[in-house]
Amino acid sequence: MANSRKLAAEPEPIELDWAATALLIIDMQRDFMEPGGFGETLGNDVSQLARAVKPIAAVLDAARAAGMLVIHTREGHLPDLSDAPPAKVERGEPSLRIGDPGPMGRILIRGEPGHDIIPELYPLDSEIVIDKPGKGAFYATELGDVLQRYGIENLLVCGVTTEVCVNTTVREANDRGYRCVVLADCCASYFPEFHEMGLKMIKAQGGIFGWVSDSAAVLRAIS
């Protein structure tokens, strides 16, 4: 992997020090991706998210081959729900609420099958997995400490959903000084129009929250 090579991106190409860059894969969990999980209980069509899996797998393979730091996140709560605010648990009219038993175990609870990452993108033992109770990956987690420990300055961000956990994490990261490059085809939303808007919000105004690129550009740059 070249130490620093320009990555095609919007609003403009960006030069990254790859040794200071991590791949951050947000919430590619069965609870969001598969029927019977949290996403579907909220009334969403989970098939909308499948399109991101192959592009993420390609970037993940390349990142592993290049020796890049890989971090996976999972949204979920402790079995006693002590980290789940009532305002989150009680919201809306889901068919099953957070903590209720469902076909993949208790909805959005750590340790349950539905909370785990989909097999296609399963973390290696050597990779970092951050469990987060919120939408942003920095809130109430060790992510900030991990990035500092590894000398990370730049994040390639993938995952679901574009406008919720991806956008929230990018905004948190941007405020903490990280350069975030969101990979458009490696993200997805239950609402295609929110996906498009979520990406536009990141790269608007000269890249107010970061940059938007794609899997092909990353493969060209790091392979």
Q: In this chain, which stretch among 49-57, 138-146, 158-166, 210-218 interacts with ligand C5J, using CB under 6 A?
A: 158-166
CA dist 204 and 115 (Å) reads 33
- Out of 21, 154, 161, 213, which residue is the one contacting ligand C5J (CB under 6 A)? 161
Judged by phi (left if over 0) then psi (alpha if -120 to 50, else beta), residue 220 lies in alpha
Rule CB under 6 A: which of 126-145 touch ligand C5J?
Answer: 135
- Residue 84 binds to ligand C5J (criterion: CB under 6 A): no
Q: Is 132 a known active-site residue?
A: yes
- Residue 164 binds to ligand C5J (criterion: CB under 6 A): yes
- Residue 34 binds to ligand C5J (criterion: CB under 6 A): no
- Out of 10, 34, 40, 75, which residue is the one contacting ligand C5J (CB under 6 A)? 75
Torsion sign (Cα): 57, 190, 187, 168:
negative
Cβ(77)–Cβ(87) under 8 Å? no
Count of beta carbons in the 10 Å neighbourhood of residue 20: 17
- Rounded to 5 degrees, φ, ψ at 157 are -115, 130
- Binding region for ligand C5J (CB under 6 A): 27, 32, 75, 135, 160-161, 164-165
